[in-house]
């Protein structure tokens, strides 16, 4: 029996692992954007939808929160968003297309992880185990079917990693070109996905590269990855300045005090790491693997750890609430498991069973995050179709209150001005007054808080008419405002 199991795990299990990835996500494939970080998903989906409906020029991405402008602003390179818009153009718009597109990207990431592990360990069992560990990381499980650009960047990064080692073994122009283009795509999409550059540097130093062909290829890879990444982020800053819509972050943000930073660190270590960044089943193997790898005195390991420390220091603010910022390091977490098993541990079968349980933990811990975090009215497809028709009646809408500034816009298929806070304070009144005077008959309001609208209408002395109603949502036309 033991020999038979040993034979099974030392065969190529990649096709079965890909099927496993599909199975554990199948129940959620026909669910529109919802759940944890739904705002990030809706922003991405809005960019894709606006490419599809307004302008397919990839250089000018638009969001729905337009403030009366054309909505152009500067996100990360819109490789994910634009590809999704191409799928809309090919197959027609669907609120579920992104689920299938993201799933395909996650399968490519798993395949890429398998190939990288084969290079490092030269062992099918360890490659299988590393790929399985990736599937079992909770954050990867959750974002595998969500509309986050990080997923495309992750897949591109892993295949660039594979191509780099292909280039070292066979230093041809095509291998260097593919590596540079893929790493450049990853970096343009999200700058932190250039992190394998630390590994590449360690490998170059370790091998004491002297060949002119290798150095020319390395320069090409560096140029193709760094220059486009830097160029796009400069372009994104320019796009942001066009309309002054600061929806996407282009600067480093630190926590304001040492106490907050230390509190966040404790939260990350004792809660996030054990539950979602790594997960209980993999915890011992990841930290054990890191310890074993560290003792090898491998410069690649040291530089990878340095990259992780620097990344955490710079991104701690985002990591407080944005789990997808961890996706850049899920390959390193999975490789750590491979390092642990590289030297056969005691209680091998018990340890292997725990690793095999990691996808079950991910499903148990994270599947509830797919649950709706949007108003009930948005979950009906018939409602969404009707909303789209009603929202065409005005050029611009005030939409809210919605603190995300994008979820209501996306589901209501509206564009215009965000009513972000459920208040009627002086700032809100000033904004309403300015927007109503500016847009006149072109402006309406969509809200699920008629009580707040009633207060605002009295304070501004503005009259309105309810055009449509669905559940708690009302489409309102402003009639008159007294100056």
Q: Are residues 317 and 421 in the same domain?
A: no
Q: Which domain holds residue 87?
A: 2-370
Please give the model's pTM, rounded to 2 decimal places: 0.93
Q: Are residues 359 and 437 in the same domain?
A: no
- Structure-model confidence comparison of residues 7 and 305, the more confident one: 305
> pLDDT exceeding 90 applies to what percent of the chain?
65
Q: Are residues 179 and 326 in the same domain?
A: yes
Q: Mean pLDDT score of the chain, rounded to an integer?
A: 90
pLDDT band at residue 2 under the 50/70/90 scheme: very low
pLDDT at 86: 97
Q: Are residues 383 and 355 in the same domain?
A: no
Tell me whether residue 186 is exposed, middle or buried, using C-beta atoms within 10 angstroms of its C-beta: 0 to 12, 13 to 18, 19 or more: buried
Q: Are residues 14 and 127 in the same domain?
A: yes
Q: Minimal CA–CA distance to 335: which of 117, 112, 106?
A: 117
- Structure-model confidence comparison of residues 272 and 204, the more confident one: 204
* Mean per-residue pLDDT, 349-359: 87
Q: How far is 397 from 318, CA to CA, in rounded Å?
A: 31
Residue 367: strand pairing partners = none
289 close to 351: Cβ distance less than 8 angstroms? no
Q: Are residues 93 and 187 in the same domain?
A: yes
Q: Are residues 365 and 393 in the same domain?
A: no
Is the pLDDT at 412 greater than 80, yes or no? Answer: yes
* Mean per-residue pLDDT, 437-453: 92
Of 344, 370, 396, which residue is a domain's last? 370
> pLDDT exceeding 70 applies to what percent of the chain?
94
* Mean per-residue pLDDT, 193-212: 91
Q: How far is 105 from 112, CA to CA, in rounded Å?
A: 10
Q: Are residues 78 and 204 in the same domain?
A: yes
Of 370, 402, 426, which residue is a domain's last? 370
Residue 477: count other Cβ atoms within 10 Å of its Cβ.
Answer: 16
pLDDT in tens, 317-341: 776 667 778 899 999 999 999 999 8
pLDDT in tens, 52-68: 999 999 999 999 999 99
**Phi and psi, residue 474, nearest 5°:** -130, 135
Q: How far is 202 from 7, CA to CA, in rounded Å?
A: 35
Q: Are residues 55 and 178 in the same domain?
A: yes
Q: Are residues 332 and 431 in the same domain?
A: no
* Count of domains observed in the chain: 2
- Structure-model confidence comparison of residues 254 and 300, the more confident one: 300
pLDDT at 210: 87
Q: How far is 123 from 108, CA to CA, in rounded Å?
A: 20
pLDDT at 150: 95
Q: Are residues 429 and 476 in the same domain?
A: yes
Is the pLDDT at 253 greater than 80, yes or no? Answer: no
pLDDT in tens, 80-127: 999 999 999 999 999 999 999 999 999 999 999 999 999 999 989 999
pLDDT in tens, 292-306: 888 888 888 888 888
pLDDT band at residue 1 under the 50/70/90 scheme: very low
Q: Are residues 140 and 200 in the same domain?
A: yes
pLDDT band at residue 3 under the 50/70/90 scheme: low
């Amino acid at each position: 029996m033991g020999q038979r199991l040993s034979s099974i795990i030392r065969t190529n299990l990649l096709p079965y692992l890909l099927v496993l990835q599909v199975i554990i996500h199948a129940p959620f494939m026909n669910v529109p954007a919802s759940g944890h970080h739904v705002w990030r998903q809706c922003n991405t989906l809005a960019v894709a939808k606006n490419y599809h409906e307004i302008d397919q020029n990839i250089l000018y991405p638009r969001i729905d929160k337009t403030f009366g402008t054309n909505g152009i602003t500067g996100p990360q390179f819109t490789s994910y968003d634009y590809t999704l818009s191409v799928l809309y153009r090919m197959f027609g718009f669907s609120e579920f297309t992104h689920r299938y597109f993201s799933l395909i990207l996650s399968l490519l990431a798993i395949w890429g992880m398998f190939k990288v592990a084969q290079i490092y360990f030269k062992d099918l069992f360890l490659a299988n185990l590393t790929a399985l560990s990736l599937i079992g990381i909770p954050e990867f499980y959750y974002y595998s079917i969500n509309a986050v650009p990080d997923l495309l960047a992750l897949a591109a990064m892993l295949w660039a990693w594979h191509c780099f080692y292909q280039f070292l073994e066979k230093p041809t122009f095509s291998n260097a070109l593919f590596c540079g283009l893929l790493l450049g795509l990853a970096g343009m999409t999200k700058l932190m996905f250039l992190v394998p550059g630390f590994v590449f540097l360690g490998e170059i130093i370790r091998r004491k590269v002297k060949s002119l062909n290798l150095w020319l290829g390395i320069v090409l890879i560096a140029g193709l990855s760094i220059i486009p990444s830097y160029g796009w982020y400069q372009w994104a800053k320019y796009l942001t300045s066009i309309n002054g819509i600061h929806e996407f972050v282009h600067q480093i943000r630190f926590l304001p005090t040492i106490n907050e930073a230390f509190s966040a660190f404790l939260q990350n270590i004792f809660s996030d790491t054990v539950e979602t960044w790594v997960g209980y089943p993999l915890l011992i193997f990841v930290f054990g693997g890191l310890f074993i790898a560290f003792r090898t005195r491998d410069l690649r390991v040291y530089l990878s750890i340095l990259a992780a420390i620097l990344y955490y220091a710079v991104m701690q603010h985002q990591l407080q609430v944005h789990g997808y910022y961890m996706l850049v390091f899920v390959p390193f977490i999975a490789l750590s498991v491979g390092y642990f098993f590289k030297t056969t541990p005691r209680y091998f079968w018990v340890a292997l069973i725990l690793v095999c349980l990691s996808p079950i933990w991910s499903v148990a811990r994270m599947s509830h995050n797919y649950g709706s975090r949007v108003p009930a009215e948005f979950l009906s497809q018939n409602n969404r179709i009707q909303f789209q028709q009603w929202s065409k009646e005005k050029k611009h809408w005030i939409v809210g209150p919605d603190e995300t500034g994008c979820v209501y816009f996306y589901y209501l298929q509206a564009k215009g001005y965000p009513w972000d806070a459920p208040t009627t304070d002086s700032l809100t009144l000033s904004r309403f007054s300015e927007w109503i005077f500016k847009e006149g008959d072109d402006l309406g309001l969509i809200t699920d808080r008629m009580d707040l609208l009633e207060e605002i209408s009295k304070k501004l002395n503005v009259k309105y008419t309810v055009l449509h109603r669905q559940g708690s949502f009302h489409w309102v036309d402003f009639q008159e405002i007294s100056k």
